[in-house]
Structure 1
Amino acid sequence: MRQPPLRLDPHSAARRQPTTVTGYQKATSLFLTWCASHSVTISCAVQLDDLLVEWKNTASVSRTQFAYAISAAEMACPHVKKQLQRSHSVLRDWEIVQTPQHHLAMSTPATLLIAVVFGLMGESRLGAGLVIQQACGLRPNELLQLKREDVTLPEQLQFSSPTISIISLGVKAGTKVKRPQVSLLCSLRHPVASLCLRLLVLSTPPGCLLLPSIVLLKFQRALKEVCERLRLPPFTPHSPRAGFASECMLAGMYFISIREAGRWKADSSLRVYLDTIAVAAQQAALATQNWTEVILDIKDNFLLTYPWWPGCPVSQSRPVMQKLQDVVRS
Structure 2
Amino acid sequence: MSNGTFSLLEAVNLALHRAMAEDENVIVLGEDVGVNGGVFRATLGLRDSFGFKRVIDSPLAETMLGGLVIGMAAQGLKPVVEIQFMGFIYATMEHLVSHASRMRNRTRGRITCPMVLRTPMGAGIRAPEHHSESTEALFAHIPGLRVLVPSSPARAYGLLLAAIDDPDPVLFLEPTRLYRMNPQPLVDDGKRLPLDSCFTLREGSDITLVSWGASIVETLQAASALAEQGVSAEVIDVACIKPLDLDTLEASVRKTGRCVIVHEAPRTCGVGAEIAASLYERALLELQAPILRVTAPDIPPPLYRLESLYIPGVEDILHACDSTLNFA
Structure 1 length normalisation: TM-score? 0.23
Which structure carries more strand by proportion? 2
Higher-RCO chain (CA-CA 8 Å, sequence separation at least 6): 1
Q: Greater Rg, structure 1 or structure 2?
A: 1
Structure 2 length normalisation: TM-score? 0.23
